[in-house]
Structures are given as structure tokens and as C-alpha cells.
Amino acid sequence: MTRNIIITGGAGFIGSHLVRLLVNKYPDYHIINVDKLTYAGNLANLSDIENYPNYTFVKADICDYDRMLEVMKMYKVDAVIHLAAESHVDRSITDPFTFARTNVMGTLTLLQAARIYWESLPEKYEGKRFHHVSTDEVYGALELTDPDGVESPFTTAASSEHHHAYGRDFFVETTKYNPHSPYSAAKASSDHFVRAYHDTYGMPVVVTNCSNNYGPYQFPEKFIPLFINNIRLHRPLPVYGRGENVRDWLYVEDHARALDLVFHKGKDADTYNIGGFNEWKNIDIVRLLVRTVDRLLGNPEGYSDSLVTFVTDRAGHDLRYAIDSRKIYRELGWEPSLQFEEGLEKTVRWYLENQQWVDDVTSGDYQKYYESMYSGR
């Protein structure tokens, strides 16, 4: 194997797509998936590659320093792509301590284990890399303003035919951090630790900050899969406030391609923002989901419209996120591959065609299975 790469959180949503991409694309890489298998981790996400010779799964907690150092040494790890994180904002509001432990102390534990192992080698940091995957939420929020004249920089038809911007301001790599939730505060802290390890110890690092992801295998408490499942089951669709909050949406496989590019070609100690120039108000996504799911289920038009229910807004709910991805496009040639409507339809079809996966996850049966499988380890 030419490279031994740890991917943390590889049984999760984005992580599983990245694991699959790298295992298939680089047969001479050994991909070590380190995941604690919390509620958001599911090895069924990787059943298609679980027996590949260049893939290994390790059930472990990234906060366990001795275990992380052991894994580094055991597999002669020369790179880490760190995705493992608590990521649901609502959960962070009710349980901020868990987010601080996993997102801050977990990242620090990984950095220290990698540093101690790599500095023990004759070549030290040569050929090494710690790639930290973060979020646009660390930047805070943007205002809704007149977007007249704002155009996507991408050359493909990937940008939505609808308005792709709700303002002239965008998050760039140098935007000042201003987190507003316990989740984003924990991610911001982890970003700072990664950069501090470069500045203090000379560790080769790179940071990516992405916009909202969507696609197959996303845990069904998240917005898009939750609403797909609720429409299927004819349950209420709880929309925060009036649904005016704006997010920039990125298809998960496009994000995985971007991570692959940045990991291999990104500049050391640099930051790359990954987004789609694809902004949508939440209420507009809900309406598009209702039309799409109803059509694919054969329901009459408007059948599920009455399910939309406006609920009290989330505490500290940021109004707008929007990422400027021109740097990664200009330097590395990355751009999204799908129009949002096309990606959303693919996503809806996947969830409707994989209802057993959805039912297993929402019932918790998948956790019981893996708890029994790994109970003796």
C-alpha cells in the first residue's frame, strides 16, 4: 500500500461517501475507517465495499488517546481525513457538552496522537497530512440583501435554474469566525486547534469548510431525509419560523470529490470553502420535496401540501449561509456536477427505494445489531 489513510467518521453520511470514493479510486491506498458507531454511524452505508482488501474498519472513540496512538502505529498511518463530529444543531442546543467533547477534544486527541507518532519517525512530517473537515456555520450568518448581478462562477449547468443567491455577501476563506450555536462553536474551536498544530509544531494540515450536504445515507433526523420520510408516511412537516432561512446546498458526492482534490492537491496550511452557489429558502425546498415525493409515489398534485406546519423557530437560528467556492474552482478545478433539482430527485428516489435502510435507522435496529457484533471488542 502506498498510503495508509485514517478516515474518521467513515460510517457516517459524508464519511461513507468519501470512504467509498477513495477505496474504489485508489486500490493501492489502505483506507482505515475509524468510527465509534454512535447513532449517526451505520456500517450498512458501506456494505458494498466492506470486504475490499484495501479497506479496514476500526471501532474506536476518537477521544481515546491511547487507542488513537495505537491505531496510528498499528497501521503506519501517514494521513488523517477527519470527519467524525457531532453535527445536529438541535442536539447541540440540548446537549452542548457532548459536542464539546467530540468536536473539540476528539480533534485535539487525533492531532496529538498523529503528532507524537509522526514525530517519532525518521522522516517525521514528510509525506504526512492532517485534513480537517469543517462547516460554513463557523462563520456565523449573512443578511438577506439584493443579489442582483451575482452570478455563479461555474462553467457547467450545475447551478439551479432558480435564484442561486439571496445576497451579495458570501463566506470566503478569510471571513472572521462568529459561531452562534454550541455546534458551530465546537467546530470553530476544532478548526483553531488544527491551525495551531501547524503553527506550533509544523504539522502539515489543510482545512475545508463546506455548506449543507444532501444525498443518500444521510441520517433521517436531518432536514431533507426527515421530510422525505414524513411525506411518505403522511406525517407533519415541521418548518421553523416561516421557512425563510437560506442555505447553500451541496450534493454529497460532489463534496467527496472536492475532499479528494483538496487532500491530494490543496496547499499546506490553507483553507478551502466548498459550496454550490446554490441557495434555497427552506420553505422552497419543502415545496419542491412535496411535489417530487408525491409525483414519485403517484399521489395527486397537492396531496401532501397540508402537511406543512410552521413551528417555533430554533434558538439562535442563523438566517443565511452562502459559500464563495471560487478559490477551489480557480486553484483545483472543482465545481458541482448536478443541478439542485436533479440532485434532489436522485436523493428522493434513493430514500424511496431504500425504505428498509430508513426503517432500520429510524427504529434503531441497526445500532442493536452492531452493539452485539462489537460487544466483545
Active site residues: 136-137, 183
**How many Å is the maximal CA-CA distance in the chain?**
68
Please state, in angstroms and rounded to a whole number, the distance separating the CA atoms of residues 4 and 118: 13
Helix (H, G, I), strand (E, B) or coil at 22: helix
In contact, 283 and 316? CB cutoff 8 Å: no
Query: Any idea what the Cα angle at residue 235 is, between residues 232 and 239, rounded to 5°?
Result: 105
Secondary structure string (H, E, C) spanning 172-225: CCCCCCCCCCHHHHHHHHHHHHHHHHHHHHCCCEEEEEECEEECCCCCCCCHHH
In angstroms, the CA 71 to CA 109 distance is 13
- What secondary structure letter does DSSP report for 313? P
Alpha-carbon Rg for the chain, nearest whole angstrom, is 20
Query: Kind and range of the H or E element at 371?
Result: helix 365-373
Give the whole-angstrom CA distance, residue 80 versus residue 72.
Answer: 9
**What are the helix (H) ranges across 204-339?**
223-232, 252-265, 282-297, 326-332
Question: What's the order of all strands across the beta sheet hosting 129-135?
Answer: 55-59, 29-35, 3-8, 79-82, 129-135, 205-210, 271-274
The sign of the torsion formed by the CA atoms of 325, 223, 110, 369 equals negative
Specify whether the CB–CB gap between 171 and 322 falls below 8 A: yes
The single residue listed with the C-alpha cell 499546506 is 268
Can you name the residues that pair with 35 across neighbouring β-strands? 59
Please name the residue ranges forming H helices in 37-181.
65-74, 89-94, 96-99, 106-119
